[in-house]
Structure 1
Amino acid sequence: MTDTVSNAKTIKGRTGDWEIVMGLEIHAQVASKAKLFSGAAVGFGAGPNEQVSLVDAGFPGMLPTLNKHCVEQAVKTGLGLRAQINKRSQFDRKNYFYPDLPTGYQISQLYYPIVGEGVVEVEAEDGSFFNVGIERLHLEQDAGKLIHDLSPTESYVDLNRAGTALMEIVSRPDLRTPEEAVAYVKKIRTILIYLGTCDGDMEKGNLRADVNVSVCRAGNYEKFKATGDFGYLGTRCEIKNVNSFRFISQAIQYEARRQIEILEDGGSITQETRLYDPTAGETRSMRSKEEAQDYRYFPDPDLLPLDLEEAWIAEIKASLPELPDDKRKRLMADYGLSQYDAIVLISEQAKADYFEAAAKGRDAKLVSNWVTNEVSARLAADNKDFSENTLPAAHVAQLVELIETNVISSKIAKEVFDHVWNGEGSPAEVVEKHGLKQVTDTGAIEKAVDEIIAANPDKAAAVADKPQAIGWFVGQVMKATGGKANPAAVNDILKAKLGL
């Protein structure tokens, strides 16, 4: 088996060129204090079976009651995805037996989902954009959790998650590379966090993806796009519950290599559900892929069709926050930022808000550099998200102000930042405490220049033939002044003294 699958849309095989085609089903836990059809609490870290109602446990005669807040969150998400909101939707029973599903069925939406088609604009790593079609978003309840590692002979069931509200966001087969798939999941996650409809915590399983992967001969995807005929695409395999960006990329690469190797050896792909094993770095078969008829879907008799009023949808739409695409365009227009800088800032809502708080009246590009480089790097080193940042935005603003007014140089600013990050006070207080003000006294700088030129007459004479050698003198002056001399003043004085 080959070692890697590149991010190119065409993959060279032994018998010709291949293409990967992917569609993703993202399962996002709805940000809600209660479950979809019961009043049981939702939260991470509770003891086993501490957050279970009689409805969640499937007791006979217990009837589900729809959580209005979860419906509102689904509508809000649909609007954020620029998708059609269906005024009438319906809940169906998806019938299957598994120990963590006490009712023997899952309440979902197959035939009439709450959200229809939409489109998401995704930023690629190279700065270009591509669109991913949204096929649907539907509400459904989560199952419980099976625990197999407490006993060598027994398994246990924790129903705390049973009944938790999920939004399943189903994409069109518009993704062509592992890189695109990861970028798409990142974009969906960012939109959900901006909307406040899901916290996006993949580590806790609050956002996870089922990745449908198929391969076909080069050129077939374009034929599919032109005709809509799925026959041009290969048989797909679904990789269930992948919960990290890295694992999504690795799972796709392995699965694509696996399918290509089978096909080139004259075999055929079996449609099935697979799991990704990150330890082994491979996908493995879980079960054959069921079709809708295998689940015997039918409308849930305990739940009436859901009818939404246009006025209520309009009210939700009016309450939407500024979304990532709009914020990116505004940051570029209002602050003169490059597209790249704006994209980096909006990747986390807290980071974009922090930037704007620090950038008032300051050099926006300089503030952006400090926020996306120094502050972000320190947080990453501490394994923290930007939402966990405790450094006041006013400190970054003051640091930039000290640079702009030549109180400190950019080099000294990094030393100042170290002290500020370690809790020694504001930038101005640190500069005063450690005597880090920039030397702007031209007399003092001129004296240092004269002494260095006098001590190095041969080097000074050589500068006339080799002007770039002035850099050596700049370094010596900065060293002599403890890095505090104003670099611009040093350059001007050296040029005058050396006749450049």
Structure 2
Amino acid sequence: MLRPCLRYSPRAVRSPRCPQYSYRNSLQSPPVNQKSFLPLPSPPSIRGLQTPSTDSQDRIPLRKQLKQDAKSVKARRRERREQEEASRQKWELTVGVEIHAQLNTETKLFSRASTSPSELPNTNVALFDLAFPGSQPEFQAATLLPALRAAIALNCEIQPVSRFDRKHYFYQDQPAGYQITQYYEPFARNGYIDLYGYDGIAPEDGDQVRIGIKQIQLEQDTAKSQELPPSTQLLDFNRVSHPLIEIITMPQIHTPATAAAFVRKVQSILQSCNAVTTGMELGGLRADINVSIRQRGDDSGSHQYGGIGGLGQRTEIKNLSSFKAVEDAIIAEKNRQISVLESGGVIEGETRGWTIGSTETRKLRGKEGEVDYRYMPDPDIPPLLIGQELVAELSRTLPTAPDALLNMLLSPEYGLPIEDAKPLVELEDGARLEYYQYVVDILRELQQDLDPKARASLGRVAGNWVLHELGALLTKMDLPWDAERVTAQSLAAIIDNLQRKQITGATAKQVLGMLFDGDRRPVAQLLEDENLILRPLSREEYMALAEAAIEQNPQMAEQIRRKNQLGKLGWFVGQMMRTGEKGRVEAQKAEAILRELILGS
């Protein structure tokens, strides 16, 4: 019986009798020590040692292997798409959303402690926030105003009388052992949001979908906790009792993309009416998602899946902090539930968690119900009475809704494409939109002498300069929006000179860059001082520049002529602009001369 080769030597390696090297290639299983049933150790890499021979038929060229791998990836993607389509045909997804948003207030909900952010923990707290024995809640009436603005903007019915309840649970971030909320009688009910294609809803949901809002309730936030492994929790009570609204939808969402679009639009609406100060990106808005699955056409209650009331058993995914997380978590939970049901299992009512970058939700705990929380009316807080005069005044002074702003920008008055209109509405809480409208108003004053047809494109041209040209400079320098860096008056003057053909596009961008970098001269003076006013070239000057450019590269000119490769004309235009006097060569005229010389047209 042969012994295993435990020492490495050239002789041992070359020996065909060594069991360690009796297998043909790395795809086969390594030999096993018959006594220990463990794989024998692999030899170290030693220069000069011979490697065992392999048959040529076992070798796969790298390029062929890469192609096979790419085909496998495509096949798996195609299979996933087919499975997704099949599951969509068989199973119906239903999603309900609960959004918690911090209100824009100066004081907390039941104390006079400040809500201003503080780097020092546990500095903005009152005795009631810490559940100090004997302290009493004192409702701060001013906190109601942003909550009402939000409810009105979300098309809710404001209730004249609402009440606060105690929701009991023990956790270290809730010092009183209960949270004050409005479970039974919230201050707002029966709202809705309309979502459109431009909001990013799923194609299968059509051009428009309306999502009902069951209720909006006031409640207090909890403390902020920080975990220090292995067993330490730090608590910052600055956030305790910060006013929140909880927005609860009806279970009327059936696609992950539409759920994410709903949360995104709610944030946009809350910001537009000044109800909140921050969004998801800074932790001022968080979403919980309820997900259930049932077979399509099954309205019997889906009891075999653990559900009631015509829907499957729902699970809740807590504390989602981005729009992408909302969509990804729903997809993962939907796939998990379908897998459980198709394997004969039953969905359990659970609270589940989600980690960004994950592909699966994880169980946190069993789902609590109304009985577990032991809801009861709060005996220390009187009913909240809301007068109709206050509601009417807030409705009258509410800022224009985002959808109305979009329709205005898409109308002939401005003529913007949706790709430009949406960013203008969403960026900087409307500050850039206000700047853009100011630029358009100034341009209309400056160009009253021009033909109405020429003035019809003012809105689109101004949108391009505000969003793309000025926006690109801000992005390049990683700077926040600042309307004073290039004033609306200066940008309008640049655009006016460009449209009157007193400067070229390249000169307009140069002047914009100079103003952006701090030049404070008026545009007219800057153009005069720097000799940037366009002095049009004559036809003879264009012809000379074009002939010189063609002489530099006659082969390319021949390719354009023989193969009609018109895209290469741009190279010659660039050469003419580089060799000609700066700011005087107009690209359109240069291309027209080149076409005439090269193509005879």
Contact 1:439 1:485 in 2 (8 A): no
2:106 pairs with 1:33: yes
2:546 pairs with 1:449: yes
Q: Aligned equivalents of 1:22 and 1:198: distance in 2?
A: 25
Say which is worse superposed, 358-367 or 428-437, in terms of deviation: 428-437
Q: Aligned equivalents of 1:35 and 1:112: distance in 2?
A: 21
Indicate which of 329, 339, 343 corresponds to 1:261: 339
Contact 2:165 2:377 in 1 (8 A): yes
| 2:379 aligned residue | 301
User: Which amino acid in the other structure matches residue 441 of structure 1?
Assistant: L
Q: Aligned equivalents of 1:6 and 1:413: distance in 2?
A: 52
| 2:39 aligned residue | none
Q: Aligned equivalents of 2:77 and 2:134: distance in 1?
A: 54
Say which is worse superposed, 58-67 or 127-136, in terms of deviation: 127-136
The structural deviation recorded for 1:161 is 0.9
Counterparts in 2 of 1:153-192, with a 5 A limit?
153-192=231-270
Indicate which of 461, 466, 481 corresponds to 1:366: 461
Indicate which of 437, 440, 454 corresponds to 1:356: 437
Counterparts in 2 of 1:270-349, with a 5 A limit?
270-278=348-356, 280-333=358-411, 334-348=413-427, 349=430
Equivalent residues, number:
494
Change (3 A) 1:29 1:124: same
User: Which amino acid in the other structure matches residue 369 of structure 1?
Assistant: N
Query: Partner of 2:143: helix, strand, or coil?
Result: helix
2:115 pairs with 1:42: yes
Contact 1:463 1:469 in 2 (8 A): no
| 1:145 aligned residue | 224
Contact 1:274 1:285 in 2 (8 A): yes
Contact 2:503 2:583 in 1 (8 A): no
| 1:440 aligned residue | 536
Indicate which of 398, 404, 407 corresponds to 2:499: 404
Query: Partner of 2:157: helix, strand, or coil?
Result: coil
Instruction: State the Cα deviation string for residues 178-225 of structure 1 (Å, max 9, x = none).
Output: 22122211111111111111023324321111111222334559999x
Instruction: State the Cα deviation string for residues 307-351 of structure 1 (Å, max 9, x = none).
Output: 111111111112211221121122233312234432232123122
Instruction: State the Cα deviation string for residues 151-170 of structure 1 (Å, max 9, x = none).
Output: 64432322111111001111
Q: Aligned equivalents of 2:347 and 2:478: distance in 1?
A: 41
Bigger RCO of structures 1 and 2 (CA < 8 A, at least 6 apart): 1
User: Which amino acid in the other structure matches residue 185 of structure 2?
Assistant: Y
The structural deviation recorded for 1:276 is 1.0
Change (3 A) 1:174 1:415: farther
Contact 2:559 2:565 in 1 (8 A): no
Change (3 A) 1:155 1:381: same
Instruction: State the Cα deviation string for residues 117-173 of structure 1 (Å, max 9, x = none).
Output: 111122334694332211111100011122221x64432322111111001111122
| 1:200 aligned residue | 278
User: Which amino acid in the other structure matches residue 244 of structure 2?
Assistant: L
The structural deviation recorded for 1:65 is 1.3
Contact 1:212 1:237 in 2 (8 A): yes
Q: Aligned equivalents of 1:209 and 1:307: distance in 2?
A: 28
Counterparts in 2 of 1:209-288, with a 5 A limit?
209-219=287-297, 231-278=309-356, 280-288=358-366
| 1:488 aligned residue | 588
Indicate which of 112, 122, 132 corresponds to 1:59: 132
Query: Partner of 2:130: helix, strand, or coil?
Result: coil
Change (3 A) 1:237 1:418: farther
Change (3 A) 1:438 1:220: farther
Instruction: State the Cα deviation string for residues 412-436 of structure 1 (Å, max 9, x = none).
Output: 5445544444445576677667765
| 1:116 aligned residue | 189
Q: Aligned equivalents of 2:361 and 2:282: distance in 1?
A: 21
Query: Partner of 1:359: helix, strand, or coil?
Result: helix
Change (3 A) 1:8 1:293: farther
Q: Aligned equivalents of 1:411 and 1:401: distance in 2?
A: 14
| 1:477 aligned residue | 576
Contact 1:276 1:282 in 2 (8 A): yes
Say which is worse superposed, 336-345 or 427-436, in terms of deviation: 427-436
User: Which amino acid in the other structure matches residue 191 of structure 2?
Assistant: G
The structural deviation recorded for 1:255 is 1.7
Q: Aligned equivalents of 1:277 and 1:455: distance in 2?
A: 59
Output the TM-score relative to the length of structure 2. Answer: 0.73
2:99 pairs with 1:18: no
Query: Partner of 1:139: helix, strand, or coil?
Result: strand
Identity %: 33
Say which is worse superposed, 98-107 or 230-239, in terms of deviation: 230-239
Contact 2:560 2:568 in 1 (8 A): no
Q: Aligned equivalents of 1:9 and 1:134: distance in 2?
A: 34
Change (3 A) 1:419 1:237: farther
Q: Aligned equivalents of 1:101 and 1:77: distance in 2?
A: 26
Output the TM-score relative to the length of structure 1. Answer: 0.87
Say which is worse superposed, 138-147 or 357-366, in terms of deviation: 357-366
Flag structure 1 segments of 5+ consecutive residues without an equivalent.
Answer: none
User: Which amino acid in the other structure matches residue 489 of structure 1?
Assistant: K
User: Which amino acid in the other structure matches residue 471 of structure 1?
Assistant: L
The structural deviation recorded for 1:451 is 4.4
Query: Partner of 1:97: helix, strand, or coil?
Result: coil
User: Which amino acid in the other structure matches residue 399 of structure 1?
Assistant: I
Query: Partner of 1:37: helix, strand, or coil?
Result: coil
The structural deviation recorded for 1:110 is 0.8
Flag structure 2 segments of 5+ consecutive residues without an equivalent.
Answer: 1-74, 202-206, 445-457
The structural deviation recorded for 1:452 is 4.7
User: Which amino acid in the other structure matches residue 286 of structure 2?
Assistant: R
Say which is worse superposed, 116-125 or 67-76, in terms of deviation: 116-125
Structure exhibiting the larger radius of gyration computed from Cα positions: 2
